[in-house]
Amino acid sequence: SGTVKLINLQGAQILRCRREEILGKKLSDLFPEATAFWNSSPGRYREIELSMYDGTILPVGFSSTFYLGDRGINQDIIVTFQDLTEIRALQAQVLGKERFAAMGRVVAGVAHEIRNPLFGISSIGQIFERELSAPAHVELARALLSETKRLNQLVEELLIYGRPIKLTLGRCDLVGLWEEVIGMHREEIEKKAITISGDLAMGHTPAYLDAYQIRQVFLNLIRNAIEATPQGGEIMIRLLLEDQFIIFKLADTGSGMPAENIARAFELFFTTKSKGTGLGLAICKKIVEDHGGEISIESRERDWLDERKGTTVTVKLPYRGITDRNEALVNSRA
């Protein structure tokens, strides 16, 4: 009849009840889906989902057997069951990773195929630009070249995104890297009269990182910050070492982001810019996670009450210092 005669502590815990609350009750009164416990063929493993009081769903795996009473008659049913929540989460994670890797391969393959014809088109464009005499035609050739340049940029970014996870760790000076990236954008920074201030508490402490990839992260983040910051705005950098983590923060006084954009910012191809690719932050996330780190965004839009606004991106990377052990590890991989 489904009345519970006995339940062990573990069983009650899985069902998030105390034993007294279950004993002597019909289990299906508490969990309607639990009728499957005694309506299934004995010995066969099954998985069902129980609706809990608080509206959550509990996935359980179970199988049942008959318990033979004194005179050898089927009297009771013994059900063994387990909580599948953790297993389901792991399965979803693996599936997500596989899908991600598969998509990366497709993206890299397509980008690679586009690169060669694109090179052909831009070479022809350069010849046109040189050889054509009518100014209107030269203008068209230039437009063609600037569009191929944009496409090229997109292809390069797709290739970076689609590259399989493989870190080439080496001694990396983050402050130096940061200064290099700023130097590359000197012109735009001056044109917009942006003030750059920094708290580089980490100093030139070296760490083992993939310098090429981390540089890519810095590049994408500074580009976004410059693009969002208005004339005369400010960009602040913090780089510090804290509890075995490298913390990198980039704050700007730009437009800020509404919550729905923050939620989607790391998605592939999400952009709010007319000429954006929506790849910058997706690439950052991939690189940071490949390093075992995390990336997050805090942002507020301007409102008429509050003048403080802007975006802060935080990157947190596990710190691998320069120790003999790490040195040996890196050398053995090289």
Rg of the chain (C-alpha set) = 29
Give the one residue of 125, 162, 280, 293 binding ligand ADP; rule: CB under 6 A: 280
**C-alpha dist (Å) from residue 112 to 76, 100, 216, 330:** 65, 18, 19, 30
Q: How far is the CB of 312 from ligand ADP (least distance, A)?
A: 8
Note whether 224 binds Mg ion by CB under 5 A.
yes
106 Cβ neighbours under 8 A, 6+ residues apart: 162
Q: Which is nearer to ligand ADP, 228 or 288 (CB)?
A: 228
Q: How many other CB atoms are there within 10 angstroms of residue 34's CB atom?
A: 23
Q: How far is the CB of 251 from ligand ADP (least distance, A)?
A: 9
Note whether 280 binds Mg ion by CB under 5 A.
yes
Q: Which is nearer to ligand ADP, 181 or 265 (CB)?
A: 265
Q: How far is the CB of 298 from ligand ADP (least distance, A)?
A: 11
**How many Å apart are CA 172 and CA 175, to the nearest integer?**
9
Residue 254 touches which member of ligand ADP, Mg ion, none, C-beta under 5-8 Å by kind: ligand ADP
Q: How far is the CB of 147 from ligand ADP (least distance, A)?
A: 16
Number of H helices, E strands in the chain: 12, 10
**How many Å apart are CA 116 and CA 119, to the nearest integer?**
5
**How many Å apart are CA 238 and CA 247, to the nearest integer?**
8
What phi and psi, each to the nearest 5 degrees, are found at residue 55? 90, -5
Give the one residue of 7, 60, 257, 295 binding ligand ADP; rule: CB under 6 A: 257
Q: Which stretch binds ligand ADP (CB under 6 A): 22-30, 105-113, 194-202, 276-284?
A: 276-284
Note whether 254 binds Mg ion by CB under 5 A.
no
69 three-state secondary structure: coil
Query: Applying CB under 6 A, which residues contact ligand ADP?
Result: 220, 224-225, 228, 252, 254-255, 257, 261, 265, 270-273, 276-282, 311
Site residues (vs Mg ion, CB under 5 A): 224, 280
